[in-house]
Structure 1
């Protein structure tokens, strides 16, 4: 908000008015809330559908922190490598970006200018290269300014819930959030978390008024 409130047009010298500040504030709130909620839901979906990963993540958190009150931003939370890996994998599988990003590897893999994808990471260098090329928050002028806050929120919420609760899928919700064989395109996979686009708008009227007579 500091940069918005102090933004001055170089040509006209004008500052943003109240309506523009309202519009931009709404965009910032949506940009911060919706992606976080979507990634968090996807993380729970994939953890609950992969019990081995759920047990490993839960074990790491409960061994790192004796009580939930210890879970806070700092070196101990940042050292939870498996929790971070779960978040990264969730972002890869369900990036909070507009429109679905289906990926289908055909038989024989994909060849791009003589390079076959995907290469199995077997060395520290190849893992670091994979991390370097992984940019779910974009780059450059389009880079999300809330990237670090988003990661911190995800780590804190996931760590607290994994520490406090033993989770499992309810018998009636086994396919909740996943694909369906009757859906179109790439939405048929049962074990893939489904994201749907929504477009939000702001308006000024018409307003409903009570007529007294």
Structure 2
């Protein structure tokens, strides 16, 4: 009993000490902090939990957009964070050589072995980028493209089966499996076969949960301190995932390095990655590569299903450019499909695969002040531009919630030359189209994402026609009728901001075109 009383007394004492400490921190952040004069939500000024709360619901991008409407082009997003929304800020933050990733990337739950995503040292990042960039170079992708084509054929065969059974397809599920199978070959030289078998389908599911949790730590870093508890709660899934990865690593390392045109073949050797960092990089490669392409394809298919005129124009371009599905390969002819690229670019703008802010701060403090869009940023402050918000800004994209691929094309009416105003507007849009980031830290896999999404969408439109599923099933992934907020409209593909973009749908019904499907039957293994 005495020990219980002692425990209660100690608890009361600790609690009585904690309250003044927390209050003093809050008062400092509100009254004396160097960022005290910046506008922003009250809770954001005193706790990172403000952003963490919105990150939990996956609606951080929507909340950020509303805050820009309320506070202007810069506001205080957290006690030590400023969020910007301008082209000047993009230039000042991401194209400066002395700027590195913010401390958010090394939150308490971050793995000890740093990868290209979370490494903060610029020299170390350049070393990793030089090596990993070879994996997704044009030369490497050319050698890998037959494997990518093979996985896309399997994807098309699944669509053919569903069309024969008059069943709709949830494209998020189908595209995630396609993306993970492609990047599994590229990273590990491994056939995960998630499109055709259930065995490894827990891998993409576990990885998306990992992305979600990392986003919470990234937005609200203190949560990283309880990461061991959260990992323990999901220990069975984590163990299954770890065992699957270890199996892939053992299988690949038992082969000669040059046995397959994959990550391992490219980054091994004297000038490659160290053994202890090799698989951390490959795992991030899988995380980033699979989900990015899936969002690009799903977003494009959703918007095409909402806009019959765009659908008809793109289908005509594909079907007039090629005379068979076999001809749809990476190269000049596919690259000549300018409307296809415009559709993908516009879909990426509306539904970016990585919608979150990219937090940065100076790598080395110098006597020269750090200035972002005219604001002298105090030492210890993370700054960022929210990608989804700036790509929906009407200053840079007129009618920002309208799906208009034509905005990316040169005018062709009566062969009239483009005016100076039109050229300037196009240049502005291109600078604000930061879907893959930019500068030294921009996404290395940009070329691969465009190649895979272009091939997949072009082949879908060659072999099939498609439309939304009837009734309520066809509304999956869309906003709703009567919404006063344009981002929740029925023609808007709903994504969740989880560092990457999570989503579900659209549900589509496919119909095979003529007898073109016979090509797919011939390719299907018996």
TM-score > 0.5 by shorter chain: yes
Match of 1:143 among 442, 458, 473: 442
Task: Verify the 8 A CA contact 2:354 2:499 in the aligned structure 1.
Answer: no
Partner of 1:101: 388
| Cα distance in 2 between the residues matched to 1:118 and 1:197 | 21
Task: Verify the 8 A CA contact 2:478 2:494 in the aligned structure 1.
Answer: yes
| Cα distance in 2 between the residues matched to 1:162 and 1:68 | 10
Match of 1:154 among 432, 449, 453: 453
- How far apart are 1:180 and its partner, in Å? 4.0
| Cα distance in 1 between the residues matched to 2:338 and 2:428 | 16
CA RMSD in angstroms comes to 3.1
Task: Verify the 8 A CA contact 1:180 1:187 in the aligned structure 2.
Answer: no
Partner of 1:29: 286
| Cα distance in 2 between the residues matched to 1:101 and 1:190 | 18
Task: Verify the 8 A CA contact 2:300 2:344 in the aligned structure 1.
Answer: yes
Q: Report the secondary structure of 1:72's partner residue.
A: coil
| Cα distance in 2 between the residues matched to 1:23 and 1:165 | 39
- How far apart are 1:21 and its partner, in Å? 2.6
Give runs of aligned pairs for residues 106-121 of structure 1, distance below 5 A. 117-118=396-397
1:78-127 residue CA offsets vs partner (Å, 9 max, x unmatched): 1111111100100110111144835776xxx65xxxxxx55697736236
Describe the shift of the 1:26–1:166 C-alpha distance in structure 2 as closer, same or farther (beyond 3 A): same
- How far apart are 1:7 and its partner, in Å? 4.7
- How far apart are 1:197 and its partner, in Å? 4.1
| Cα distance in 2 between the residues matched to 1:137 and 1:31 | 11
Q: Which has the larger radius of gyration?
A: 2
Aligned length: 182
Match of 2:299 among 42, 50, 56: 42
Partner of 2:325: 68
Q: TM-score, normalised by structure 1?
A: 0.72
1:193 is the counterpart of 2:493? yes
Task: Verify the 8 A CA contact 2:479 2:490 in the aligned structure 1.
Answer: yes
| Residue ranges of structure 2 left out of the alignment (5+ in a row) | 1-262, 357-386, 400-406, 412-417, 501-526
- How far apart are 1:22 and its partner, in Å? 2.5
| Cα distance in 1 between the residues matched to 2:333 and 2:425 | 22
User: Runs (4+) of structure 1 moved beyond 3 Å?
Assistant: 1-8, 102-105, 117-122, 180-183, 197-200
Partner of 1:56: 313
Describe the shift of the 1:160–1:96 C-alpha distance in structure 2 as closer, same or farther (beyond 3 A): same
Task: Verify the 8 A CA contact 2:488 2:494 in the aligned structure 1.
Answer: no
Greater percentage in helix: 2
- How far apart are 1:59 and its partner, in Å? 0.5
Q: Report the secondary structure of 1:168's partner residue.
A: strand
Partner of 1:125: 423
| Cα distance in 2 between the residues matched to 1:180 and 1:87 | 23
| Cα distance in 1 between the residues matched to 2:338 and 2:499 | 35
Partner of 1:205: none
Greater percentage in strand: 2
